[in-house]
Each structure stands twice: as structure tokens, then as C-alpha cells.
Amino acid sequence: MDVGQGTGVLERTASLQQHGARTRRAGCQGQRRRWVTNPGDTQPPGTHQWNTFLDTPPDEDRFDDAKFVVLPAPYETTTSFLTGTRDGPSAIVNASAQLEDYDLELDADISIAGIHTAPALVPNLHAPQAIVEQVDQVVDWVAAGGKIPALLGGEHTVTVGAVKAMSRRHTDLSVLYLDAHGDLRDSYMGTGWGHASVARRLLDVCPVVHAGVRSISAEERSYIDEQALPVHYWPPITGLDDYVKAVVDALAASVYVSIDLDVLDPSIMAAVGTPEPDGMDWRQLTLLLRRLGQRRRIVGFDVVELCPRAGPPTCAYTAAKLVYKVMGYSLAFDQT
């Protein structure tokens, strides 16, 4: 099945458009406005108000009607090179106001499925493990409502809490870990809960499949080989189609996707805390995500490690576009 043909929710969104369903910013006469969410009864604990993804007006940003819940998590305490990832979520949300609702590739307005922007998490900065517990609580709140969480970091540590929450609801869960680095150190800079140990902590929860990796330590390489972990190094030694197939084949039926933006090449994503040359380009990454959406059920995802001050504003827009793309690909899976 070609994802461009659309299935499931994608077909329903197209039908809604054909029958004149109300679209975002209706009545705004093409003018972009800046809205602030009104959390009401849908505000999770430990959060504060935030602008909305896609600049959605408050009356169209309802939790009950949403398929996706955007969760900004502006957390940063263990960065080891460039700093500023705490500003990533706000930069992504603000840049998303410039996105078109209609996605040409998918031939659908993904926003019709419903996107609610939750108030931003107020991170506990006393210890890295505290943010894991916070994110776990908030993502569990989202999943309990039958929604797909779209977590925005912040540094990569936030992923651990999200995966812990999702694993309790999906016994067949695995993680697609898209990152330039292995993040498999048992401990780094005095903590086992920093950005360099995220994948190691995830392995205590569920299976993890790496893709895009091109920088690891000798310790990590030994651990990968000893444990026979499915780490798919980049660039591929086979063709891209074979690489993508091998990655997707290694994943379980339900998948949580974690995207560290440094998986992309610095030529298109310079605004990250730990850039690494020779990364994926946009088409390579979206091909992998599109094929994943065709063959597996994406139950949640995150986009992390945007460091706005380290690159041009276009990086925040690219990150926002990627968030919207993953939403669209997750709707392409035919669950009938």
C-alpha cells in the first residue's frame, strides 16, 4: 500500500474536507494569529500555559476532540556540548504557525484528525531522574485518553519517561531510536539518566532499534556486539530500501518513535546540541518514517534536542514540519 493513497484516518480527513468540514483558522481571512491554550480541565499536573501547535485557535484546540496531544518538555540539565535545548519546544511550536495544514505528499489535512497542545511541562531540575517521572505521569495521562502523544524536547532524557508510560499500555511496544549517537553509555558525567544514556535506560523497558547511528564510544561498540543489539549504522552499506526494510522488520507491532534531530545532517539541521557530519537528509528520514507508518502502528513519538541558538530559524521550521509528518504517517497505518 502506498501511503500517498491514504487509509484509515487519512481517508476520513479527506472526506471531511470534501464535505466542507471546518478547517483551522477559519474566519481569520488568511491572517496568522498567536493563540494561547486555555487548559481548562485538561491541564496535566506540573504544567503551564503554552502557544498552540499550528497556531490553532483555542476553540479548535480541544483535548477531547484530538487524535494527537503535543507535549512541550523544555528540559535541559545534562547537555555536554552546545546548550539551549530547553528553548527547543517553544521554537518548534512557534515555527509550526507557518506550516500549511494540507500535506501534499499525503494529500490530506492532518490537522482535521485533531491536535491539542497541552500546557508545557515545568521540569524538575533537581535530578535527571525526576524529569523521567514527570514525563511518565503526563504521557500516561495522555495515553489514558486514547491519544497519541507528541513529545517535544528538550534533551533526550525525556524519552525515557514517555516510553515507560507507553509500555504499560502496549505490551508489544518497541522503540525506533533515530539518533546520530548510540546513547548506550551506562553512565556519563556522573549520571545514568543523562542524554548519553537514554537508550541504555530504554532497554530496561522494551526492545530498542537504532537507526542513523554514526558516532559511538568503544564501550558502546562492545556493548552492542555483546548484546547483539539491532543498531543500524549510517550511512548504509546496502541500498536505502534494504536499510529501511531491515530497520522496520526489526520492530514490534506497536512502535514509539524517538527522533533526536542530530540524526539529520548538519547541513539541514545545524541547531542541535551535538551535531555529527554525514547524517540523513530529509528524504531519507521521511522515507523511513513513511515505510514505518505503512507497516507498523505508531503509538507515540518525540522530537528532541533542537538547540535554536546553534542554527538558523529554518531548523525550528524543519523540526515542526517533521512533527507534522510523523502525525500524518501514523495515520496511514490501516488498522481495519
- Domain CATH number, residue 110: 3.40.800.10
Distance of CA 242 to the CA centre of its chain: 24
More confident residue, 44 or 171: 171
Decide if pLDDT at 330 tops 90: yes
**pLDDT reported for residue 84:** 74
Going by pLDDT thresholds of 50, 70 and 90, the confidence category of residue 165 is very high
Decide if pLDDT at 22 tops 50: no
In a domain, 57, yes or no: no
For cell 545532517, name the residue.
265
**pLDDT reported for residue 7:** 46
**pLDDT reported for residue 59:** 80
**Cα 164 to Cα 285: distance, rounded to the nearest angstrom:** 25
Decide if pLDDT at 20 tops 80: no
Decide if pLDDT at 166 tops 80: yes
Going by pLDDT thresholds of 50, 70 and 90, the confidence category of residue 192 is low
In a domain, 323, yes or no: yes
In a domain, 48, yes or no: no
Query: Beta strand 208-213 with 231-233: parallel, antiparallel or unpaired?
Result: parallel
In a domain, 161, yes or no: yes
In a domain, 16, yes or no: no
**pLDDT reported for residue 79:** 61
Decide if pLDDT at 265 tops 80: yes
- Looking at the DSSP bridge assignments, the partners of residue 48 are 120
Which pTM was predicted? 0.87
In a domain, 45, yes or no: no
Number of domains in the chain: 1
**pLDDT reported for residue 42:** 52
Distance of CA 88 to the CA centre of its chain: 12
Decide if pLDDT at 71 tops 80: yes
Minimum mean pLDDT range among 10-19, 198-207, 233-242, 248-257 = 10-19
Task: Enter the DSSP assignment of 31.
Answer: -
Decide if pLDDT at 16 tops 60: no
Cis ω before 235 (30° cut-off from 0): yes
Going by pLDDT thresholds of 50, 70 and 90, the confidence category of residue 54 is very high
Query: Beta strand 148-153 with 68-73: parallel, antiparallel or unpaired?
Result: parallel
**pLDDT reported for residue 85:** 82
Share above pLDDT 90 across residues of the chain, in percent, rounded to a whole number:
70
* Domain hosting residue 74, numbered range: 65-331
Q: Would you tell me how many other CB atoms lie within 10 Å of the CB of residue 11?
A: 15
Return the top range by mean pLDDT from 5-9, 62-66, 119-123: 62-66
**pLDDT reported for residue 28:** 40
Mean pLDDT in residue range 25-50: 43
In a domain, 221, yes or no: yes
Nearest to 149 by CA among 170, 140, 333, 100: 140
Going by pLDDT thresholds of 50, 70 and 90, the confidence category of residue 195 is confident
What tens digit of pLDDT does each residue of 296-327 get? Answer: 999 999 999 999 998 899 999 999 999 999 99
Decide if pLDDT at 121 tops 70: yes
Average pLDDT, the chain: 86
Q: In the chain, what is the greatest distance between 2 CA atoms, to the nearest angstrom? A: 60
Query: Which cell numbers hold the place of 60?
Result: 479548535
Return the top range by mean pLDDT from 174-178, 192-196, 329-333: 174-178
In a domain, 60, yes or no: no
Decide if pLDDT at 246 tops 90: yes
